[in-house]
Amino acid sequence: MYNKIDLKNKLESIHRKSYPAYKSLRGSYTFGDFVLSIDHVQGDPFAAPSSLHVELPLKKAGFPEKYLEKRHTKTALEDLILRSFSKALDQYSFKAKGSGKSGLISTSRPGPEVMRRTAVEFNNIALLVRFEVGFPANGRTINAQELEKILLEFLPQIVKTCLFYQSWEKAKIQACYELAENQQRIREVLEERKLVAFCANGSILPRKSGVSSQPLKDAIEFQSPESMEISIDLPFGNSIRGMGIPEGVTLIIGGGYHGKSTLLQALEQGVYNHVKGDGREYVITRADALKLRAEDGRAVSHLDLSLFIHDLPNGKDTHCFSTEDASGSTSQAAGVLEGIEAETSCFLIDEDTSATNFLVRDAFMQRVVSGDQEPITPFIARVRDLYEKVGISTILVAGSSGAFFHVADTIIQMDAYRPKDVKMSVEALLPEYPPADLCSNAEPFTLPTEKRMFVMERKIKRYGRGEREERIKTKVMGTDGFSIEHNIVDLRCVEQLIDTEQTAALAAILKHIVKKGSICMEMQELVAEINTLLKKKGMAAFVEGALSCGYAYPRKEEIYLMLNRFRRG
């Protein structure tokens, strides 16, 4: 291993040479308390920045063991360190001058959600922090003196400030630990008390704007209806009070602009923990909850949709249904079956983003279009069975149809962002509005008995004398999806996918699968295998070469959603 003097000498030797000479810097250099590794060097100053990482032995870093014992507290600490490290890098970014990306110093930039990321990770022996640097150049001529500033002057200062426990305000780390423990306790209580979600009194649900994750200033604080208010004893601090949403079928109703969708959006993002000050740090939803919506044009592969769609006029079999261009109702039906396969415990649905004919058919329409002419069994006819026979709850925002009142266990009316429990008042009105015959055309509730297969046929292309495999290229397009071998995986309607780094991780996972060539495997078995690799080896199991920053670990549910949208032929 080299040391920092060797790095200085190398930099001096390549100063003013052509840009490719930077590649001679690859390797590891000890700085005494930490090791700096240059993992990948960019091809020119306008290319993607170079990848580096810093490694500190756990004893040197000095963070108490109690913070690293549990996955949720370790992730919280990694997230806290990352936020500090990223902020510190910003102070030095572009202070070194040059062309293109010269002088850029950056790493991951987390939103309010706390996620496990590759940018900062504790393993059994060390703390690893990954980041990117734009190696400076004038034109395409190396400016090693500017890189020397970054690596030998700026970086040691940042490492000393952010990566050693002795440099931290201890109360800040303890507060982060306590919040993570409290959030985890609430998640445990959800299971114990048969709840699907909890929203603490005093939470700030509205956001600053539709494109901002910042809490809205002067927003109305959330206050639970008295009848739904519960108290949870926390490991740190006193008990916390708020609204507990029980298992079963829950309706969220109310007039337009009164906060129905705002509440649902907070719940759908409650699958992630949030940082203190976000306003939603104590809005907690079961981690496997799944948002469903209509998704016109998506692909559906080998799926048994007979629970919702049957007796098609063209005679097509819906017990093993495939299409390259699903309608809104078909896509949402597919989402339900895929959610069952992913073993979710709760569906989250907004009427505004759903296919109307999938959710419900009113009595008048049923009189005009008889059951034997309608191949769709609406969701309302299955929602009770989904809970009572499969254990999957539903939280549904409904603003225009009262049909779901007849099947709901809990009814919450949002009135100027204030929730009210209106179940009793609605029940008093039900005799005046008898339900339609919901199941006139429905087959018995029967789940698919055969395990669905993930089938892919791909010939591995080789070229050159050594018969090397053809490189598989991926391109991430924000949270909208990614391309792989010119095949677009469209994730625009996967609303709980909220960070580009999650998309990058999904692209890496799919690339790992595609590299295997032809595959025929049970879908559940494949996802279980991926999750096992993630737990044992992390994202390094799916990335060629040295791991870089820029990946956030996806949920199991997003892995399913990605695989289901891959047009694999």
- pLDDT tens digit sequence for 74-90: 999 999 999 999 999 99
User: What letter would DSSP give residue 131?
Assistant: E
Q: Which percentage of the chain shows pLDDT scores above 70? A: 95
* Residue 310 sits in the same domain as residue 380: yes
pLDDT at residue 440 is higher than 60 = no
| Structural domain harbouring 43 | 2-168
Cα–Cα distance between 183 and 198 in angstroms, integer? 10
Strand order in the sheet with 229-232: 229-232, 240-246, 195-200, 283-285
Domain total of the chain: 3
* Residue 491 sits in the same domain as residue 541: yes
Cα–Cα distance between 552 and 539 in angstroms, integer? 9
User: Residue 324 burial (CB < 10 Å; 0-12/13-18/19+)?
Assistant: exposed
Pick from 6-10, 185-189, 207-211, 542-546: least confident: 207-211
* Residue 349 sits in the same domain as residue 498: no
The pLDDT-based confidence of 450 (bands split at 50, 70, 90) is confident
- Give Cα 249 to chain centroid, integer Å: 25
β-pairing, 519-522 with 453-456?
Answer: antiparallel
In a domain? residue 139 = yes
In a domain? residue 470 = yes
* Residue 477 sits in the same domain as residue 344: no
* Residue 424 sits in the same domain as residue 463: no
H or E stretch at 80: helix 71-92
Residue partners of 223: CB distance under 8 A and separation at least 6 = 201, 202, 418, 419
In a domain? residue 277 = no
Kindly state the average pLDDT of the residues 528-542: 96
In a domain? residue 360 = yes
The pLDDT-based confidence of 217 (bands split at 50, 70, 90) is very high
Kindly state the average pLDDT of the residues 550-563: 97
Tokens for 481, please give them.
């999806």
3-class SS string, 50-64: EEEEEEEEHHHHCCC
Kindly state the average pLDDT of the residues 50-60: 98
Which one has a higher pLDDT value, 486 or 330? 330
In a domain? residue 265 = no
Kindly state the average pLDDT of the residues 551-557: 97
* Residue 155 sits in the same domain as residue 43: yes
Report the mean per-residue pLDDT for the chain: 93
pLDDT at residue 68 is higher than 60 = yes
Count other C-beta atoms under 10 Å from residue 532's C-beta.
11
User: Which pLDDT score, from 0 to 100, does residue 95 have?
Assistant: 87
Where does a domain end: 168, 199, 231?
168
Closest CA to 357 of 266, 418, 294: 294
Residue partners of 471: CB distance under 8 A and separation at least 6 = none
* Residue 14 sits in the same domain as residue 123: yes
Query: If you search the block for the tokens 């910003």, which residue do you land on?
Result: 90
Closest CA to 54 of 102, 90, 15, 4: 4
Count other C-beta atoms under 10 Å from residue 131's C-beta.
25
pLDDT at residue 497 is higher than 90 = yes
* Residue 408 sits in the same domain as residue 470: no
* Residue 11 sits in the same domain as residue 128: yes
Closest CA to 380 of 399, 400, 356: 356
Q: Is the separation of the CB atoms in 251 and 396 below 8 Å?
A: yes
> In this structure, which amino acid lies at residue 53?
H
Alpha-carbon Rg for the chain, nearest whole angstrom, is 27
The pLDDT-based confidence of 473 (bands split at 50, 70, 90) is very high
Closest CA to 96 of 49, 135, 40, 65: 135
Kindly state the average pLDDT of the residues 14-30: 97
Where does a domain end: 168, 194, 220?
168
Kindly state the average pLDDT of the residues 222-239: 97
H or E stretch at 78: helix 71-92
Q: Is the separation of the CB atoms in 389 and 337 below 8 Å?
A: no
Strand order in the sheet with 481-484: 474-476, 481-484, 487-490
Going from the C-alpha of 458 to that of each of 472, 517, 520, the distances in angstroms are 12, 5, 11
Closest CA to 326 of 362, 293, 366: 293
* Residue 388 sits in the same domain as residue 528: no
Kindly state the average pLDDT of the residues 362-390: 80
In a domain? residue 209 = no
Q: What is the DSSP string of 332-347?
A: HHHHHHHHHHTT-SEE
* Residue 143 sits in the same domain as residue 7: yes
Confirm whether pTM is higher than 0.85. yes
* Residue 19 sits in the same domain as residue 68: yes
pLDDT at residue 332 is higher than 90 = yes
Count other C-beta atoms under 10 Å from residue 256's C-beta.
8
In a domain? residue 337 = yes
The pLDDT-based confidence of 463 (bands split at 50, 70, 90) is low
Q: Where does 4-49 show beta strands of DSSP type E?
A: 27-30, 35-40
In a domain? residue 428 = yes
Where does a domain end: 116, 141, 168?
168
Kindly state the average pLDDT of the residues 438-452: 78
User: Which pLDDT score, from 0 to 100, does residue 458 have?
Assistant: 77
User: Which pLDDT score, from 0 to 100, does residue 437 have?
Assistant: 67
Q: Which percentage of the chain shows pLDDT scores above 90? A: 82
